Amino acid sequence: MKTLVGISTYGLPGFTREAVKSLYETVENQFDVCIVVGNPKDEETKYYSESNGFHTIVHNRNMGFPYSVNDIYEHAWVKGDYDNVVIMGNDVIAYPYAVDSLIDTAREGKYEWICSTQYDVRSLLLQFPHLGKHFGHNYSFTDWGSDPWRNFKGYVKEREVVEIGLTDVQNLCLYTRGAFDKIGYTDANFYPAYYIDNDYARRGVNAEVAACTLGNSVYFHFWSRTIKQGEGGSTSQQFARNRSFYIKKWGGDFGQEKWKIPYGGNTSSLNAEIPLEPTLNIQSREYEERIVDYWRAQ
């Protein structure tokens, strides 16, 4: 079984290095790594990825998180022959057994979308208040000589399948080729990031993708470092804009959707050149660059 771990970045190379390091420290199954360098000025991440032999995709402008995820999917399932893709946040640390549990569960063939369980910096500091010395304002982290997340030991090897569907979409989550066949690419309209996870989860649920969460597959999350600490953060205006687009697409906010099919089953559009198809399954990237340019101009 071939597994690709894909990481989308926009700067913050220190976090990316720790994320990848955690994979090689904890994963026994075979896997490959793909890193998307979303910030064209981020020479450090580009050099790190290429020098380690990872498949490296470099954008020439900020194309947004959905576009980056779709680059990973395309590399794995259109140009490649991978069975699984694990999407991993670049500010995430995989604890022991986390990724192996995802892969082993996928191998059994019952589930097409398998989620991990988050343990974030806020939970860490509640449990271990003395570790606050390693973090700055708004949980910023630059103390790479330390590894405070290792104080947490609340993970076990025995897999615990919690059949409650989707609890986490893109911080550490495995998708099989079957999931891609049913719902395809993420929607690039959610540029640069907000509401992409809501939309993908809604499409997965409506397409009846077989999903579960693993209680023992635990990861540490530094919590939104690209937004809080890096240069790729979305603005409040972009958040509101993406929320409005989600409502347009589904007839209501997340959890209040009126439609099972996007746009109520009717063809919509951004402008005369960009149609919006009423489908759960996005299998074409034909309009993606125009979509990104449209939203970048707003």
CATH of the domain at 26: 3.90.550.10
What is the chain's Cα-based Rg? 19
Is residue 8 predicted with pLDDT exceeding 80?
yes
- Locate the DSSP E strands across 17-112: 32-37, 55-58, 84-89, 92-94
- The CA distance from 137 to 214, in Å, is 32
| Closest by CA position to 163, among listed 217, 210, 98, 107 | 210
Between the CA atoms of 66, 52, 19 and 211, what dihedral angle is there, to the nearest 10 degrees? Answer: 50
- Count of domains for the chain: 1
pLDDT class for 75, splitting at 50, 70, 90?
very high
- For 3, the 3-state DSSP assignment is strand
| Closest by CA position to 100, among listed 89, 80, 86, 90 | 86
Between the CA atoms of 262, 263, 267 and 272, what dihedral angle is there, to the nearest 10 degrees? Answer: -110
> Among 49-58, 91-100, 137-146, 280-289, which stretch is predicted with the lowest mean pLDDT?
137-146
pLDDT class for 6, splitting at 50, 70, 90?
very high
Per the CB < 8 A criterion, the answer to whether 149 and 15 are in contact is no
User: How much is the pLDDT for 298?
Assistant: 87
pLDDT, tens digit, for every residue of 114-153?
A: 999 999 999 999 999 999 999 988 888 888 989 999 999 9
Is residue 52 predicted with pLDDT exceeding 80?
yes
- Locate the DSSP E strands across 146-245: 161-162, 172-176, 211-221
- The CA distance from 23 to 93, in Å, is 8
Instruction: Determine the structural domain holding residue 144 and report its residue range.
Output: 3-296
